[in-house]
Amino acid sequence: MNVVLKGGRIVDPSQGMDAVSDILIEKGKISRIERDITPSKADSKNTLRVIDLQGMIVSPGLVDMHVHLREPGFEYKETIRTGSEAAVAGGFTSIACMANTNPVNDNRSVTEFILKQARLAATANVFPVAALSRGQAGETLTEFGDLKSAGAVAFSDDGNPVTDSGLMRHALEYACSLDMPVLSHCEDRGLSSSGLMHEGFISTELGLPGIPAVAEDIMVLRDIALARFTGTRVHIAHVSTAGAVQAVREAKAAGVHVTAETAPHYFTLTDEALRGFSTNCKMYPPLRGAEDVEAVKEGLSDGTIDAIASDHAPHSSVEKDVEFAYAANGIIGLETSLALSLKLVRDGILTLPQLIEKMSTNPAHILKIPKGSLTPGCDADITLIDIHKAWTVDAGTFRSKGLNCPFDGWNLIGKAIMAIVGGEVRYTDTGAAV
């Protein structure tokens, strides 16, 4: 069925568009964007659906370039199906899933399995990120070429830093020659290994071993130095420190091909949230100090940080309802990411087009996937957003299997009311008047 989206405010940074207009979707593609697209006589209710979107935002489908779907291996935490359902419920029509599954996604068969499960789920577009090293052990490169042809879109040992600088250099060089991005989890384990939270006054009071900000800064600086030396591209995952923001800012000014993402929790929460030892505030990198949070916001505002990604990391109560020291790292994010990020717009840190750029156009561009645009001819992946809708987070109602959400019970403003993937409506918010 074809669809007309009528009267919404279309915000598409990929073509510099911010205007009230209509969109015609035909055969799963964006066909036309014009004011007043009216159904012709040939169209009937069975062949054309008209959706009235007055007051709503029409965005290119949001792209979350950093999620953990846990399948294969940890299906009790999340599956590709439940993760995809969480994605569209959060407004994400495309997600890139990290390789730290069991078995690790370090070979063609795992990549193909992920793509097959995603096809069967038929919900969001799933783009596998393959491991950079075999078993994510940081020793031997995976078969980049074969993984690319199997459908992987990037390489990363996310969850583990690439400690061996020589291996990282080779990964950057080889990936660049294949026009594939490398996503780097920046952590100097010598500095962070025993740590459980950000090192600062709060960790001192709580008696928890600290993870110093410099553990992240050092690896960001190393990766920038390697990218500069080899003339390649590197993408810094989940930036959380003022030092990392500054390093990326300076590298960009010097012409180094570096991009960076941060996650909503790094501009929403500080290490103060750890008082009370809530394991739902335990993740890597850890929640940082107030000055880091300010620096991350500045980095988003001045363009240093290109993308917002949730680092959606579902865990079950088995991993989280335990002593803080024993709890697994990570929080879920797909279903709260948009609302938490929309606050940046209300606070004047980003304009709405800038936000959509960071949650759709830019991540698609970094991953080199044909998404993040409403240009005619593109796949009709569209997120419809009510930026004024007030709602209360109830993790128990989430599509994700994970309950590990530090924002449970928060009152948020702004929500995806519909997600369209390839012209098909994959999610409609209950109670939305569309």
Partner 1 sequence: MKLSSKDMLGIRDLPREEIDLILDTAASFKEISERTIKKVPTLRGKTVITLFFEASTRTRTSFEIAAKRLSADTINISASTSSVVKGETLIDTARNLESMNPDIIVIRHSAAGAAQILAGLLKQSIINAGDGAHEHPTQALLDMLTIREKKGRIEGLTVAIVGDIAHSRVARSNIYGLIKMGANVVICGPAMMIPRGIERMGVTVCCSMRDAIRNADVVMMLRMQLERQEKNLFPSLREYAQQFSLNRDNIRLAKDDVIVMHPGPVNRGVEIAPDIADGPSSVILEQVANGVAVRMALLYLLSGGTK
C-alpha distances out from residue 45 to 21, 34, 71, 353, 366, Å:
21, 21, 40, 33, 39
412 contacts 336 by C-beta, under 8 angstroms: yes
In the complex with partner 1, the residue whose CB is nearer, 277 or 391, is 277
311 annotated active-site: yes
The CA-based angle 183-314-181, given to 5 degrees, is 10
The CA-based angle 16-18-22, given to 5 degrees, is 115
Binding span for partner 1 by CB under 8 A among 181-189, 262-270, 320-328, 370-378: 320-328
CB of 210 to partner 1, least distance (A): 7
In the complex with partner 1, the residue whose CB is nearer, 34 or 205, is 205
Residues 138-167 that bind partner 1 (CB under 8 A): none
Binding span for partner 1 by CB under 8 A among 30-38, 96-104, 194-202, 246-254: 194-202
Q: Which two tokens stand for residue 328?
A: 């697994």
Q: In Å, how far from its chain's centre is CA 155?
A: 15
In the complex with partner 1, the residue whose CB is nearer, 189 or 346, is 189
C-alpha distances out from residue 362 to 62, 65, 125, 355, Å:
10, 10, 16, 10
Q: Which of the following is catalytic: 311, 379, 381, 386?
A: 311
In the complex with partner 1, the residue whose CB is nearer, 329 or 428, is 329
One of 26, 174, 225, 324 touching partner 1 (CB under 8 A): 324
What is the C-alpha separation between 316 and 311, in angstroms, rounded?
A: 16
Q: Is 291 in the site for partner 1 (CB under 8 A)?
A: no
Helix or strand run (H / E) with residue 131 = none
CB of 242 to partner 1, least distance (A): 15
Binding span for partner 1 by CB under 8 A among 111-119, 199-207, 261-269, 410-418: 199-207
Q: Is 229 in the site for partner 1 (CB under 8 A)?
A: no
Q: Is 377 in the site for partner 1 (CB under 8 A)?
A: no
One of 255, 276, 377, 396 touching partner 1 (CB under 8 A): 276
Q: Is 277 in the site for partner 1 (CB under 8 A)?
A: yes
Helix residue ranges per DSSP H, 52-102: 80-89
Q: Is 205 in the site for partner 1 (CB under 8 A)?
A: yes
What is the C-alpha separation between 386 and 61, in angstroms, rounded?
A: 14
- First-to-last C-alpha distance (Å) of the chain: 17
One of 201, 254, 291, 433 touching partner 1 (CB under 8 A): 201
What is the C-alpha separation between 120 and 157, in angstroms, rounded?
A: 26
Active site residues: 311
Binding positions for partner 1, rule: CB under 8 A: 193-194, 199-201, 203-210, 212, 276-277, 321-326
